[in-house]
Amino acid sequence: MDQLKALLGFVGAAVAAFIGLWARHATDPAGFNWRRLAIETPVAIMCGIVAGAAGAFFELGPIVIYGIASAAAYISPPVVFQIIRKKLEKSDDGKTD
């Protein structure tokens, strides 16, 4: 029963993260973009899983975990992709032909 409860906690956090991502895209001044939503969904779900794990570790309630997951997914995908982009640009600068 405890394993099922933990699984549902992670699934709930992942769904909350996706809702946070959807909210960011719905309010984006550039407009809603399905392609960008699809690309950012794995990062948002990962935020939900991490929030679920952190919440279980700190013994937080489900509503707190879902709020953290939603907020992290609202904020983090652009940050993660910006970090990746900078790393790729940095590795391209060091190349020689």
Q: What residues contact 37, with CB distance under 8 A and at least 6 apart?
A: 21, 22, 25
Per-residue confidence (pLDDT) for residue 49, from 0 to 100:
82
**Contact (CB, 8 A) for 79 and 46:** no
Per-residue confidence (pLDDT) for residue 94, from 0 to 100:
61
Low-confidence ranges of the chain (pLDDT < 50): none
Per-residue confidence (pLDDT) for residue 96, from 0 to 100:
53
Dist CA 5 CA 10 (whole Å) = 9
For residue 14, which of 56, 65, 59, 64 has the smallest C-alpha distance? 65
Per-residue confidence (pLDDT) for residue 72, from 0 to 100:
85
